Amino acid sequence: VEFDCKIGSGSVDLRGVFEQTAVLANDTSFGVGFAPFSETERLVLETERFLTLKLKKRLTALGEDVKVMGYRSGDEIRLTVAAALV
């Protein structure tokens, strides 16, 4: 497990959202689906559920917006977690 903690200001685009007087959004997403889940997809889902449902109870500083990304190369699976601690 590697931890890479960073504190900094948001991007110029994100900071600009807070300077506007009109209601704006800075995020867009879409999804696709396929069943059954692969081993990587299942691991990503279980990790996200663990973080948001179980760890959140013990680590109350964990933010609501948790993202988990999985990458598989051969037999190796790597997970990247983006989560704010506030």
Please give the chain's pLDDT, 86 residues, in tens.
677 777 777 777 777 777 777 776 666 677 777 889 999 999 999 999 999 999 989 988 988 889 999 999 999 999 999 988 88
d(CA 65, CA 15): 18
Work out the number of other CB atoms within 10 angstroms of the CB of residue 47: 16
Work out the number of other CB atoms within 10 angstroms of the CB of residue 13: 8
Q: How far is CA 78 from CA 9, 44, 47, 71, 86, in A?
A: 27, 10, 12, 5, 25
